[in-house]
Amino acid sequence: MVVKSRPSTLSVYLYVPNIIGYVRILMNCFAFSICFKDKYLFSVLYFVSFVCDALDGWFARKLNQVSTFGAVLDMVTDRPGLIFLSFLALDIASHWLQMYSSFLVGKTSHKDVKDSSSWLFKLYYGNRKFMCYCCVSCEVLYILLFLLAKKETDNLTDVIKCVIWHVGK
């Protein structure tokens, strides 16, 4: 009988997807530190970080380097900005509850929703193209709103009013 050995804690921290996560954290820290000095460089770095979010999942599956630590790291790196702190708390709480409840019923992934009664969960997690569309649309919206803001103090309402005013001209 072959006994599967568990990876050491240190090796989990050095999984390729987790290293991508660390790079995303550093990239986002730098991006947010310069966001009002160079909006375009910020936007590029933020978008590259978003692309890396897709890559870390791909590498995790391809290299069979899936871990609970990596799943939590991925959730945390998905919402890096101070603006999104309330969304971060909601995102982490909802993902955590979804992951925890999935593991309690014996599933290996929180994305396994084939027996869910929620049509929205089935649509989102069951259709990779739709999930990709939602994720990309959300990130592009964040970047566009940021780029459209004229001043650091502009809030969402100011940006939308400005866009509507310019479109109406």
Q: How far apart are CA 62 and CA 48, in angstroms?
A: 20
- Tell me, yes or no, if 53 is annotated catalytic: no
Structure tokens at 8: 């050491």
Asked if residue 87 is part of any domain, the answer here is yes
Q: Point out the catalytic residue in the list 78, 91, 112, 154.
A: 78
Asked if residue 110 is part of any domain, the answer here is yes
- pTM for the model: 0.59
Each residue's pLDDT tens digit, 43-60: 999 899 989 988 998 999
**Number of domains composing the chain:** 1
Structure tokens at 149: 């803001």
Q: How far apart are CA 119 and CA 98, in angstroms?
A: 15
Q: What is the pLDDT of residue 10?
A: 60
Asked if residue 95 is part of any domain, the answer here is yes
Q: What is the pLDDT of residue 40?
A: 92
Asked if residue 147 is part of any domain, the answer here is yes
Asked if residue 2 is part of any domain, the answer here is no
Asked if residue 3 is part of any domain, the answer here is no
Structure tokens at 44: 């590029």
Each residue's pLDDT tens digit, 65-123: 988 788 777 877 766 554 455 665 666 677 777 777 777 888 777 777 777 778 888 88
Asked if residue 128 is part of any domain, the answer here is yes
Closest by Cα among 91, 96, 81 to 135 = 91
User: 156 lies in which domain range?
Assistant: 9-168
